[in-house]
Amino acid sequence: MAIIKSAKKALRQSIKKRARNLIYINKIKSLVKEARLLVAQKKAKEARDILPQIYKIFDKAAKVGIIKKNTASRKKSRITKLIAKSQ
């Protein structure tokens, strides 16, 4: 456990940041999982409908520094390719 005042503050800050970051991470995981499930069920139209949400959350996560810009771009590209192939 932290003893020094600055270490206690750093611990509080890291807990808050982790909570904020987890919101983005969980949203990304759930949307991508949902899209993959829809593709597996041959529901391409529904998968295409959630694609803008996927793009939005990836862009926002990259903007605030949760993931890197190229990682967001790569993942968007791969999920788009997957959905396009399923049609």
pLDDT for res 87: 79
The predicted structure's pLDDT at residue 32: 97
Domain ranges of the chain: 5-85
CATH class of the structural domain 5-85:
mainly alpha
Whether 66 and 21 have beta carbons less than 8 Å apart is answered as yes
Rounded to two decimals, the pTM is 0.88
Q: Within its chain, how far is the Cα of 9 from the centroid?
A: 28
3-state secondary structure of 84: helix
According to the model, what pLDDT value does residue 86 have? 87
- Mean pLDDT by runs of 10 across the 87 residues of the chain is 93 97 97 96 94 97 97 97 91
pLDDT at 22: 97
* Alpha helix (H) residue ranges in the chain: 5-40, 44-64, 69-85
